[in-house]
Structure 1
Amino acid sequence: MELDETIITRAIVEEYSKVFLDYIEVDVALVGGGPANLVAAKYLGEAGLKTVLFEKKLSIGGGMWGGGMMFPRIVVQEDAKHILDDFNINYHEYEKGYYVASSIESVGKLICGATDAGAEIFNLIDVEDVMIRENDTVCGLVINWGPVSMNRLHVDPLAIRAKVVIDGTGHDAGICSTVQRKIPGTDIKLDVVGEKPMWADVGEKILMDTTKEVYPGLIVTGMAANAVAGAPRMGPVFGGMMLSGKKAAELAIEKLRK
């Protein structure tokens, strides 16, 4: 068979466009492709919710790819080990209560777990704004190509509707920061404080409290949750991140099923 470049081009554009149009209205939109949101995406998909994840960079996985200081290993504590099992990630016990896994395998299986559960992932798409309507509720996202935002090009964005938005954008807490900046003086006050210095034990434990709905329709997870609350940075211990993602999914499921 002789390959035809125009057929290849048409297949890519048509198939992508078809999927993209199918996801301009969703149940849950996750912003940021790090481990917390990948975990959340799997549980949301398994619950039958229409779920989309946007990542502004080319690669999905956030900081997990690099492990600790580019040593491609992660550490997970005892109470998060079951999530490694849920994603079929190989690990071994290093010392009592400390489990080590390959960061490369972990990211790959988190991505596969999310997509196998039915979540759709779009990379190279940045979220530059939110939509807020009745009752001061976040109800959608304003999106553009990641390279457009990175290069500060003047290109108008598009929008999607979502019943729930989950901010998993890491240290910047980008979606929460946008809401705080754009809606000052409302009855609902959202303070993005920023992370405190690293303290793994405290940061990991408090993350389950900071993972919550911080504004109507907006849930925060992972490092973004601790950044919003002013809690300590956690470091290359990823159990809390994954537990936070699972909790964010549970909060969204509960909200949508009321």
Structure 2
Amino acid sequence: MQSIRIKQVNEVKISKYILKYTFEDWNNLVESDVVIVGAGPSGMTAAYYLAKAGLKTVIFERRLSFGGGIGGGAMNFHKIVIETPADEIIKELKIRYIEPEEGIFIIDSAEFMAKLATAAIDAGAKIIHGVTVDDVIFRENPLRVAGVAVEWTSTQMSGLHVDPLFISAKAVVDATGHDAEIISVASRKVPELGIAVPGEKSAYSEIAEELVVENTGKVAPGLYATGMAVCEVKSLPRMGPIFGAMILSGKKVAEEIIKDLRNS
């Protein structure tokens, strides 16, 4: 068997390369067009369409993985449900499916996560793991959300007090899921924005899917809700392991932001 010659790279060079190119990315993304908080289904779908439209888009995800609630499926079973018309998106992203009845599509959760992430990244979006967004930046005259404050998730978990870095953005998207964490912070700390967060209702899948998509969008100047965060803000029912509304919501919020930024 022929021996394999592996390029020799010493430890200092490894560190230098990582630091150099990481900070090139951070220096670029501190002024972004759109910051999305949460790499779940709606957040990654939004990132795909926003980046595809040429907007500088970054997703901050507190975990060291992407997918949000996709991976857990229903009680850790690895199949999830998508329904019409969300199948147009999974077909666009070449996600394989089974169609047990007309308009219902069963897809593999791992493939769904991987291909959503790949689509967003290939379109030009950045996904940065291990970063928690714990506050917003706001401006007056006119009153608006103008970016976010970020910290390493590991720093927060350790209980250390470390001041954040700031990332400016023309639009901030709360894709944090059930708790609508970013909108909740903004409603509490910038009451002038006039945001209420009444909380989501219990499950009613038949109506929740349409209601989530209908209510997706701007909640205050510069601040938008997508996915399950919409349920929290608009007091809508939850729907469980059916994800059509999540990706349709991500597409809708992207379309609204694109329109708003082009008209600003």
Q: Indicate the residue corresponding to 1:157 in structure 2.
A: 164
Please identify runs of 4+ aligned residues in structure 1 that moved more than 4 A. Answer: none
TM-score, normalised relative to structure 1: 0.97
Q: Indicate the residue corresponding to 1:224 in structure 2.
A: 229
User: Over residues 178-219 of structure 1, what are the superposed CA-to-partner deviations in whole Å (9 max), with x where a residue is unaligned?
Assistant: 1111022x2x42111111001111111101122010011001
Of the structure 1 ranges 235-244 and 90-99, higher mean CA displacement relative to structure 2 is found in 90-99
Q: Indicate the residue corresponding to 1:139 in structure 2.
A: 146
Q: CA deviation at 1:85?
A: 1.1
Of the structure 1 ranges 144-153 and 60-69, higher mean CA displacement relative to structure 2 is found in 144-153
The residue type equivalent to 2:143 in the other structure is: D
State how far apart, in whole Å, the 2-side matches of 1:92 and 1:21 are. 44
Which protein has the larger Cα radius of gyration, Structure 1 or Structure 2? 2
State how far apart, in whole Å, the 1-side matches of 2:232 and 2:158 are. 26
- 2:99 maps to 1:93: yes
Q: How many pairs align?
A: 256
Root mean square deviation of aligned Cα: 0.9
Q: Indicate the residue corresponding to 1:66 in structure 2.
A: 72
User: Over residues 13-49 of structure 1, what are the superposed CA-to-partner deviations in whole Å (9 max), with x where a residue is unaligned?
Assistant: 1111111111000111101110101000000011001
- 2:197 maps to 1:192: yes
- 2:165 maps to 1:170: no
SS at match of 1:254: helix
Structure 2: 5+ residue stretches without partners = 1-6
Within 5 Å, give how 1:1-258 maps onto structure 2.
1-134=7-140, 135-184=142-191, 186=192, 188-258=193-263
Structure 1: 5+ residue stretches without partners = none
Give the % identical residues. Answer: 44
The residue type equivalent to 1:136 in the other structure is: L
SS at match of 2:81: strand
User: Over residues 143-182 of structure 1, what are the superposed CA-to-partner deviations in whole Å (9 max), with x where a residue is unaligned?
Assistant: 0001112232111111010000110000110110011110
TM-score, normalised relative to structure 2: 0.95
